[in-house]
Chains A and B, each alone.
Chain A
C-alpha cells in the first residue's frame, strides 16, 4: 500500500476538495471517492519515483527533529531551496519524510 503522505499537498488537497464537492452533489459515492484517493496515492508515489529527475538542494538550521513509526519530521529555520534555475528562501519549513528508495518527500510549507 502506497504512502498516503501526498494527500495533504496542493495537488492532493485539490483532489480531495473536488471529490467532496462531487459527494455533496451526489454524483459519486464516498466509497468511490476513497477508491479515487487510493489510486491517487499509487499514482503520485509511482510518478515521483519514476518520472521526476530534477534535483533540489536545501540548507537551513535545524530547529527540531522527530523519528517515530519510521517517519522523520523536521522543522528547519531560514532555509534556502536551491535549484539550478532559482532560489527560494523561507523562514520555516516542516519536512515529513517516509522511508523511500532514494528520495525524501517534502510536504508543502
Chain B
C-alpha cells in the first residue's frame, strides 16, 4: 500500500514517529502510532545522520541498507511493506487495512498482533516501547575502491604506521589515529576500513587513507564507498533469562552455554544478529 501521509524522504521531516495527524488520540493510538501511521519512506539512509533525537522504538521499518553509491544517498525504497513476511519482529500488517487512513480503525486496533511473548510462531515486540535504550555504535566496517593497482611494498616502505608481511597476509595494514581506524589495503586497489565509531567517521577515515596512497604517487580515486557492517551494543539493565528466550524463540535463537555464554539471536527482519547475555548486555551486528 502507499501511504497518504506526507512522504518526504528527507530524514528530518517535521514528523517524528509520534507526531502524526490524528484527530483523536487514544491510548491505543499512542501505542500503535508509530507502527501504523508513520510515513513509510522515512529514514532510509543513515549514513550521515545523528539519530539521537529519536526515541528508541521497535517498530518495523523497511529494510535499511546503508550503502552509498559513490556520493549519492540512496533515496529509493524497495518494495512495499505488505510484501514482507511476518517474521521476527515484524508486525502482522496484513491483518490491518488502512490504506490512506490516518487513524487506526477500531477493527484494525482490535486485530492487533498478539503482544505476549509466549506465542512461538510469531514473536513480536511490543509496538512502541520508548525504553530510552539506544544502542551505541562500536565498530563500522566499510570498503572502497581506489581504482588503481598498488605497489604494496612501496607503500609499506614509505607510509607511516604500516605493516606488510606478504607471507602471512597479502595486504598492507595501515592505521591512523584520527579517526582511530585500521585499513587493509590490497594490491588490486581495494581497501577495507575498520574501527570507526560512526558511518561518517568511517568515510572520513577511508578518505584519509586514500589521500595517503595518493600522496605516495598512486592515482587513487574513491569509488563505491560502502558500509559493509555496523556493530552496536547496549544494556537493557535487567538480567535476561536466556533459557526462556530460547524456548519461546527457538527458530531464531542458538544458545549453548558450554560453548559460549551468550545467546545468538538471528533476527530475520531486520536481518541482524544479536548476542544476548544474562547480564542484560546486548551486542547487535550485521
Q: Does B153 touch A at the CB level, under 8 Å?
A: yes
With most chain B CB atoms within 10 A of its CB, the pick from A64, A66, A68, A70 is: A68
Report A-chain residues with C-beta under 8 Å of the C-beta of B159.
66
Q: Does B164 touch A at the CB level, under 8 Å?
A: yes
Q: Does A65 touch B at the CB level, under 8 Å?
A: yes
Assess whether A66 is in contact with B160, with CB atoms less than 8 Å apart: yes
The main secondary structure of chain A at its interface with chain B is strand
Assess whether A66 is in contact with B153, with CB atoms less than 8 Å apart: no
CA distance A12 to B159 in the complex (A): 29
Assess whether B156 is in contact with A68, with CB atoms less than 8 Å apart: yes
Assess whether A65 is in contact with B156, with CB atoms less than 8 Å apart: no
Q: Does A67 touch B at the CB level, under 8 Å?
A: yes
Assess whether A66 is in contact with B165, with CB atoms less than 8 Å apart: no
Q: Does B162 touch A at the CB level, under 8 Å?
A: yes
Q: Assign chain A's interface to a size class.
A: under 10
CA distance A66 to B156 in the complex (A): 7
Binary contact readout B156-170 vs A (1 if CB under 8 angstroms, 0 otherwise): 110111111100000
CA distance A70 to B160 in the complex (A): 16
Binary contact readout B140-178 vs A (1 if CB under 8 angstroms, 0 otherwise): 000000000000010011011111110000000000000
CA distance A81 to B256 in the complex (A): 49
> Residue of B at shortest CB range from A62?
B161
**Nearest CB on A from B175, distance (A):** 9
> Residue of A at shortest CB range from B172?
A68
Assess whether B160 is in contact with A64, with CB atoms less than 8 Å apart: yes
CA distance A64 to B156 in the complex (A): 12
> Residue of B at shortest CB range from A66?
B162
Assess whether A67 is in contact with B164, with CB atoms less than 8 Å apart: yes
CA distance A10 to B153 in the complex (A): 30
CA distance A67 to B163 in the complex (A): 4
**Nearest CB on A from B73, distance (A):** 37
Report B-chain residues with C-beta under 8 Å of the C-beta of A70.
165
Report A-chain residues with C-beta under 8 Å of the C-beta of B161.
64-66
Report A-chain residues with C-beta under 8 Å of the C-beta of B164.
67-68
> Residue of A at shortest CB range from B164?
A68
Report A-chain residues with C-beta under 8 Å of the C-beta of B153.
68-69
CA distance A45 to B161 in the complex (A): 28
* Chain B residues within CB distance 8 Å of chain A: 153, 156-157, 159-165
15 contacts between A and B (CB under 8 A): A64-B160, A64-B161, A65-B163, A66-B157, A66-B160, A66-B161, A66-B162, A67-B163, A67-B164, A67-B165, A68-B153, A68-B156, A68-B162, A68-B164, A69-B153
